[in-house]
Amino acid sequence: MKPRLSDIQDQLGRYLLADNQPLPQGLAGSAKDLKRRLSVYRNNVFHSLTQALVDLYPLVQRLVGDEFFHATARRYLQEFPPNQAAMVHFGKDFPGFLQRDEIHAGLGYLADRCALSGAGIRAKTGGRPAVGQPPCSPPQRAPGGFELGDLCDLAGASI
């Protein structure tokens, strides 16, 4: 019985984001050849998602440096892979990840700075809704177009 396309896609997604996943079933080629070919996709996935985190949290990258940030992003992406095609909510869990991550235990300020940076971006962009969701109605917006929830995020961030 041939694997379903959706099963192959699910396996491929897991394989690309986690180092310990088996090769997807149903792909043509030897295991050695598949690993070599899929490593190109894996590198592209990690590079583009890491760059998205850099774009969202440039202050964090500046505080810890490129190498440390990229290693942190790789662990984050393995724990919190994107779960939607639209990337508008991608990276929202990054401040919490930094707060819980043992490697960052001595950098207590980092998660707060990250949360503040993310809240600022959401406030500036109006917290664009996910695809298929209507934008919030005018009474839910503060003067200047900020969403009230994002302003509360900014006000509640511990500095």
Query: What pLDDT digit, counting tens, does each position of 46-99 carry?
Result: 999 999 999 888 888 998 899 999 999 999 998 888 877 777 778 888 888 888
- The residue among 152 and 33 whose pLDDT is bigger is 33
Number of residues written out for the chain: 159
- The residue among 27 and 144 whose pLDDT is bigger is 27
Return the percentage of the chain with pLDDT > 90, whole number. Answer: 12
Q: Range with the lowest mean pLDDT among 8-12, 30-34, 69-73, 83-87?
A: 83-87
Strand partners, 147: 141
User: Is 50 exceeded by the pLDDT of residue 157?
Assistant: no
Dihedral sign of CA atoms 119, 125, 129, 131 in order: negative
pTM (2 decimals)? 0.69
Residues 6+ apart with CB under 8 A from 159: 112, 116
- The residue among 159 and 33 whose pLDDT is bigger is 33
Return the residue matching tokens 């996943």. Answer: 21
- The residue among 127 and 119 whose pLDDT is bigger is 119
pLDDT band of residue 126 (cuts 50, 70, 90) is low
pLDDT band of residue 34 (cuts 50, 70, 90) is confident
User: Is 70 exceeded by the pLDDT of residue 114?
Assistant: yes
- Residues 3 and 25 sit within 8 Å (Cβ to Cβ): yes
User: Is 90 exceeded by the pLDDT of residue 146?
Assistant: no
